Amino acid sequence: MIKSLLPPPSLESILLKLDEVEKQLVESIPNKRMNREEYIWNRVRVPLNSYVNDCLSCLELAAQTIENRCGSRAEGKPELSVIYGAVSDQLSLLSHLSLSISKIESLLPSLSTQPSNQNDHQDLNWNVSYPFQSILIPSLFQNWKNFIESIHKLIFIDRMIISESLIRKWFSLLDGLSSPHPISTTTTTTSSSSSSSTNHQLDSHQSIFGTHPHPQNTDQHDNHTVQRLMIAVRDEALNRFGVLVGLKR
């Protein structure tokens, strides 16, 4: 009851919390080139679980952003500034999460997405990695898919007019998230919206739309699932909105 009366957390406070749990997790991960996988997974068990739970909470918040702030109400449709702010906040949160999860993925050992009855150590490792690989990453990309669907509805069903320069900024952001090189990404939309800036590394390639994004579709030795799937997000956005700004996939 008391919780329902409290104001929602700000985007800045959410991102600061995410940075904090990411830092704790990174500090707990031993060098994977110098340590055995079972040792690494044992070390990260608790902080990885905390990180996954916090990220899932952020994704739940992101999923509600546009729906709660942009839906039609009794007093009529919300103003454009409210819609722009909601889109900006969701984009900032998803971008920040994508970069963070990609960074963690690159630091963790590669594992098969299926347990092996022939190797007890591998089964234990798989149990630790399962929430990250098989729950968090698919949830992240389901949220990206829902975000693109929301933007498509705003533009083509609700007939909202969005400037060409703003759409190009969104594509620039998606290009950065799918880049195979170390990048510094700043989420930018309108002067009334929020932005975030982070530095991380990304790498590789694959498609998720039309099928559920699941790690079992990827090579077990490949730690670039997030970056590959971001390419699919960018390509889907190009298919949906690229024509509005003269861009094609």
Residues 171 and 237: beta-carbon distance below 8 Å: yes
Pick the residue with more confidence: 108 or 220? 108
Confidence category of residue 215, pLDDT binned at 50, 70, 90: very low
Does residue 175 surpass a pLDDT of 60? Answer: yes
pLDDT in tens, 98-123: 999 999 999 999 865 565 555 566 67
What pLDDT score was predicted for residue 182? 40
Q: Which residue has the higher pLDDT, 80 or 89?
A: 89
pLDDT of residue 55: 97
Decide if pLDDT at 81 tops 90. no
What residues does each domain of the chain span? 11-110+127-181+224-245
226 versus 180: which is more confidently predicted? 226
**Could you tell me how far CA 131 lies from the centroid of its own chain?**
15
Portion of the chain with pLDDT greater than 90, in percent? 43
Higher pLDDT, 5 or 86: 86
**What is the band of 249 on the pLDDT scale with cuts at 50, 70, 90?**
low
Question: Per-residue pLDDT for 70 more than 80?
Answer: no
- Residue 43 predicted with pLDDT over 90: yes
Give the per-residue pLDDT at 61. 83
Stated pTM of the model: 0.79
Q: Measured in whole angstroms, how far is the alpha carbon of residue 106 from the centre of its chain?
A: 15
What average pLDDT score do residues 164-193 get?
69
Residue range 237-248: mean pLDDT, rounded: 88
How far apart (Å, rounded) are the C-alpha atoms in residues 233 and 212?
Answer: 13
* Average pLDDT in the chain: 78
